[in-house]
Amino acid sequence: MTKKKLIFAAWTSSNTSYFAHNTWYKPLKRIFGDFIIFDPQQLIYQYGHEEMNRMFLDLVGKEKPDYIFFWLIYDEFSVDTFIKLREISPKTKLINFFGDDDTRFDIYSRYYSLFIDFPLMSQKNYLNDYYKEGIKNVHYSCGVNTEEFKPLKLKKKYDVTFIGTPNQDRAEYIRFLQQNGVNIKVFGSGWDKYPEFNEINGGKVNNEELLNIINESKINISFTKNYVDKPHFKSRVFEICACNAFLLTEFFSGYYDFYKEGKEIITFKTKDEMLEKVNFYLKDNKKREKIAKAGYIKTIKNYDQYKHFEKLFSEIFSKEKEPSKKILIGKDYKIAKIKKEELNDIDSIKEKLKDYDYISFFNKDAIYSKYWDFFHVYPIKNTKKPISICDPYLYSNSLGKFLSIYAPYSFQVLDKKDFYKILDPSQIVVEKNYFLKNINEFKLLLDRKEVDIINENNTSFILIPLVSIKNIENLGHEKMTKVSLPTYEVKIHVLARQKKLFYDKFIYFLIFKSILSYPFILRSLILKIFLKKQKIKESLINQF
């Protein structure tokens, strides 16, 4: 154990039911003698976003930690906070775990890693992407807390289980097993939306229950597809193997970097293959247990989080004399803001843009972050893609920022017509020459028309809300809830905690705004209240 001081500021760092606490809390506490927890999630819902950031900077100023360990999720810590942190405690080294780089490197990790001294990443094939960005001291990090996930001497009372949400095609696969006579049980949130699974739905589970279920299952199924329907690494694979439990997981080639197929884990690619392997391994107890044992031995030997962190921090400590990373947000470029009507006179606009490098589009109601231009220009310079698009906040004078829209997810999950409907011009920056070559297409884009000007090859998305806008077209409940973050919920939680919810104008302004412009917000609130009442009712029933 070192005497060095660490602030554990990962999202959900104090919540014993979530990944950050379960994976890192005990291993880090064993290494750092002076260990402080700061949970941004908990404090945002108690005090609000701005107050949480202020409290964090106060803590850093008071404690002057040697290290801070983050697990950044979205924009919980503002860019201003990182800038001020360096002024308050210049010697503090920052560590962050960047997970899911297959979906988040291009849109998120590349930006926030600019502030981090020691980025940790879990997908080996993205290591070179960090190096290409000029990001140093990147460490590969993966493992499982073997004190949390371990074998228990429990009877195998389930044939087959799945623990997780019914995202992507999971419900299809579960339905297929059920229709083919497999005795399966599902656990997790979201399954109550499928009445056909009522008899096999075990509901949400806490950590202790999750551990028991893994140990009590003959076969533990894991799915690998992410929100864009592509396979990627799931930590549940480590957790199941650490329990000396049998794992049957959907195919992902990355798993073969850790385990041997057919000897330590079993994978499937189709529903038929899954069913075939379920039936085979349910019958062959000895083979099933042999594979589970081999996976367990490999996990304990190679992927124990304690052992991994001892080695990792030994390397990090060896570089502690290196200066902390500072990011200089300079402006060696010029961005022109042009109005839609100016595009009617092409000769005039060409003359106006003569001394500019990049083009943006004016919105009189937009409020721009002071780092808006830096983060837009950064990917254009680094990737040579001529367009960059950021997330927007939706705001009103009475509510403040009450919703954010995920621009990259909108592009991926909506059809083109709907995507252009909710894309505000203030979210876009374009390299000048590319703009001039495609000026007619951009004129159509500003009219919210469907064009082919934005695609994965020419556009970088920024998963950071860098502009606040007043209006957006409502696409309906199903589509809007897929691509938006209800930041209004934070204010509701804060007011409820202060017992001021119905005494503050905010809730009434929100309801009025919902009725007037965004009925999907009101519907979401009603659904949440209904589900909460249902859970309370079920809890009371279960007591008798």
If one counts the domains in the chain, the total is: 3
Nearest to 56 by CA among 66, 73, 44, 74: 44
Mean pLDDT of 272-285: 97
pLDDT value at 96 more than 90:
yes
CA angle 257, 261, 262 (to 5 degrees): 160
pLDDT at res. 532: 53
- Does 294 lie in the same domain as 344? no
Q: How far apart are CA 200 and CA 167, in angstroms?
A: 17
- Does 169 lie in the same domain as 85? no
Mean pLDDT of 109-114: 94
Q: Of all residues in the chain, what percent carry a pLDDT higher than 70?
A: 97
Residue-wise pLDDT for 326-374, tens only, equals 777 877 899 999 998 888 888 899 999 999 999 999 999 999 999 999 9
The type of residue at 372 is W
Residue 426 lies in a domain: yes
- Does 454 lie in the same domain as 365? yes
Mean pLDDT of 502-531: 88
pLDDT at res. 399: 95
Residue 466 lies in a domain: no
pLDDT at res. 229: 73
- Does 295 lie in the same domain as 162? yes
pLDDT at res. 122: 86
Check which CATH number belongs to the domain holding 82 and give it.
3.40.50.2000
- Does 92 lie in the same domain as 193? no
Nearest to 387 by CA among 427, 350, 420, 351: 427
pLDDT band at 530 (very low <50, low <70, confident <90, very high): low
Residue-wise pLDDT for 9-21, tens only, equals 999 999 988 889 9
Mean pLDDT of 123-130: 86
Q: What is the mean pLDDT of the chain?
A: 91
Residue-wise pLDDT for 46-63, tens only, equals 999 999 999 999 999 999
- Does 122 lie in the same domain as 10? yes
Which residues is 161 bridged to in the sheet? 185, 220
Residue-wise pLDDT for 211-269, tens only, equals 999 999 999 999 998 766 777 888 899 999 999 999 999 999 889 889 999 999 999 99
pLDDT band at 537 (very low <50, low <70, confident <90, very high): very low
- Does 181 lie in the same domain as 138? no
Distances (CA, A) of 259 to 247, 254, 256, 263, 291: 11, 9, 5, 8, 11
pLDDT band at 531 (very low <50, low <70, confident <90, very high): low
The type of residue at 30 is R
Residue-wise pLDDT for 366-406, tens only, equals 999 999 999 999 999 999 999 999 999 999 999 999 999 99
Domain that holds residue 21: 2-142+307-317
The string of DSSP codes covering 66-121 is SEEEE---SSSS-HHHHHHHHHH-TT-EEEEEE--HHHHIIIIIHHHGGG-SEEEE
pLDDT band at 87 (very low <50, low <70, confident <90, very high): very high
Sign of CA dihedral 120, 126, 130, 131: positive
